[in-house]
């Protein structure tokens, strides 16, 4: 299956299990892989036969910035649901990364990755 990808879309939002995360906010990075047959679009050079990247970005931005969830797992699931509902995709991979979570220790980041298929 062909793939369209988005790497490290950056947003500032208010997700987290701790009250200070909901009050102060933090950076979130979102990566996507969108699986679909891209040959019809490539053969016809027709945007209507693929997905509009700007529309995908705006859909993700709206979910990340306009809602508050305790868990990044919930955030990732909402993004996957929206993309599979609004776009002609066979499967999606959504990775949500918190580069600066308020937990002690030495690490680069924490996050989740989910894969969902159209049912």
Rounded Cα distance, 17 and 7, in Å? 25
Q: Which two tokens stand for residue 14?
A: 């208010």
Catalytic residue among 8, 39, 61, 98: 98
Q: What is the dihedral of CA 36, 3, 116, 102, to 10 degrees?
A: -150
What's the CA gap between 109 and 119, in Å, rounded?
32
Catalytic site includes residue 98: yes
Residues classed as catalytic: 98
């Amino acid at each position: 299956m062909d793939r369209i990808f988005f790497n490290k879309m950056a947003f500032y939002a208010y997700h987290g299990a701790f009250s200070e995360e909901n009050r102060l906010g933090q950076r979130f990075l979102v990566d996507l892989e969108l699986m679909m047959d891209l040959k019809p679009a490539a053969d016809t050079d027709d945007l209507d036969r693929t997905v509009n990247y700007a529309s995908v970005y705006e859909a993700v931005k709206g979910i990340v910035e306009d809602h508050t969830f305790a868990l990044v797992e919930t955030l990732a699931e909402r993004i996957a649901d929206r993309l599979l509902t609004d776009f002609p995709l066979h499967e999606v991979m959504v990775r949500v990364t918190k580069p600066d979570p308020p937990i002690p220790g030495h690490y680069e980041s924490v996050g989740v990755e989910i894969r969902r298929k159209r049912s």
